[in-house]
Amino acid sequence: MVALKWAVCLAMLSAIAMCPQLWLTDRAFPTAPALDILPVLPQVASVGIASLLVLSIFAIAFMPKPGAMSLAPPVFLGALVLFDINRLQPCLYEYGLMFVALAMVKWGDSNAKGSKAGLASCCVIVVAFYIWGGVQKFNGVFENEVFPFLVGPFGHRFTDQFKALWLVGPVGEVLIGLLLFVPRTRVLGLIGVVAMHGLLLYVLGPFGQNCDSMVWPWNIWAVIFGLILFAGNDQWIVAPALNSVAGCFILLLAGVLPILSFFGRWDVFVSMAYYSGRLRDAWITITPNGVKHLPAAYRTGNPGLTADGPGRFRLDITKWSYSATNVPPYAEPRAYVSMVKRLEAMGVPAKEMTLMVRDANGLTNNERTYSAVSFR
């Protein structure tokens, strides 16, 4: 359990370090509060809460028996997310749930009910991420866009050949989750974990597409978590997790609620849909007069702001977010609406902007379609 505690702490610290601008308020990308009634958090408050988040993680790492203290990081993270939903990145969501699981552990007694529930709950989180991550990829956009992008580093002459193998992605990920779930097949599952994340590190790393550096450490820690949680573990995981209220809560969030994302009742961003083709990206069509009213920090050096025909500019929110915070935006329409409202509050006339959001897609969509979304 000590190794798991250190792994969770270091994983979250590495994720925080990869996106330092995300924790600020005064940055080149607007914050988007989770609730419209919330004001913009002052920079000093944002830095203060982020500092408490980091300090609490260090404290847990060095405390022999952190106990309920393990709830501090998800509490501080939750406070920061309230004032900017873009901070709820998938990896941070995963680590936050793991800290909740660690709060159940009776340190020094691995056979205690709480310890077994905490360990099993972390296993549930990992298994759920693989299974739902694979299920989310059964769609035409993953087949036609995401998968060709992922196999791109192998050379264009192989792209067409590899494209026919797109089902290997979703099927393989679901299979890894199932193999880890069953005690007798966990060795095979761990082989799949190492192979999958090693491949993703090559594809997305500096020797491949050299993009999305936020997920590089996530892939490394995924292998470490797999080895810590499942190597030599011959216990079933659902029953022990259900022996505690926190375990039931984790099972609900990680294992059950993602199915609602296919019906528009749960956010895809926290349903393991990263690199699935199901994230709803967006852009803002803005007039030259609207561009003049943008804060200088949002105009200068912004790769997301480009000319898009006579008398019109395009502000790609995803490119904008990556360039300013090193993470994607929270891919839900209400988050985009919140950003546009922030721009309006800063002086950009609403009539000069049109928000275009990718339409929701299910398992059969073959291409992206976009619709204008009202923000008034």
Q: Which of 161-175, 204-218, 294-308, 329-343 bottoms out in mean pLDDT, i.e. has the lowest?
A: 161-175
pLDDT band at 369 (very low <50, low <70, confident <90, very high): confident
pLDDT tens, position by position, 91-104: 999 999 999 999 99
Q: What is the mean pLDDT of residues 138-153?
A: 87
Q: Give the residues across from 356 on adjacent strands.
A: 283, 372
Q: Where are the beta strands (DSSP E) in the chain?
A: 282-286, 305-307, 313-316, 353-358, 370-373
Give me the percent of the chain exceeding a pLDDT of 90: 79
Q: Is the pLDDT of residue 159 over 70?
A: no
Question: What is residue 187's DSSP assignment?
Answer: H
Which pair of tokens denotes residue 195?
């192979």
Q: Where are the beta strands (DSSP E) in 186-263?
A: none
Q: What is the mean pLDDT of residues 359-369?
A: 69
Give me the percent of the chain exceeding a pLDDT of 70: 96
pLDDT band at 160 (very low <50, low <70, confident <90, very high): low
Q: What is the mean pLDDT of residues 15-36?
A: 94
pLDDT of residue 246: 93
pLDDT of residue 363: 58
pLDDT of residue 157: 59
To the nearest 10°, the Cα dihedral for 98, 330, 169, 11?
-30
pLDDT of residue 143: 87
Over its C-alpha atoms, the chain yields an Rg (Å, rounded) of 21
- Phi, psi of 82, rounded to the nearest 5 degrees: -55, -35
pLDDT of residue 366: 65
Q: Is the pLDDT of residue 365 over 60?
A: no
Nearest residue to 173 via CA among 140, 137, 143, 139: 137
Q: Which residues contact 201 (CB under 8 A, 6 or more apart)?
A: 216, 219, 220
pLDDT band at 152 (very low <50, low <70, confident <90, very high): confident
Average pLDDT, the chain: 92
Q: What is the mean pLDDT of residues 109-129?
A: 93
Whether residue 120 contacts residue 143, with contact meaning beta carbons closer than 8 Å, is answered with no
Total-model pTM: 0.93
pLDDT tens, position by position, 278-336: 999 999 999 999 999 999 999 988 999 999 888 899 999 999 999 999 999 999 999 99
HSE toward the beta carbon, residue 65, CA cutoff 13 A: 6
pLDDT of residue 87: 97
Q: Is the pLDDT of residue 164 over 90?
A: no
∠ at Cα 248 (90, 252), nearest 5°?
Answer: 45
Roughly what angle, to the nearest 10 degrees, separates helices 2-17 and 90-102? 150
Q: Is the pLDDT of residue 364 over 60?
A: no
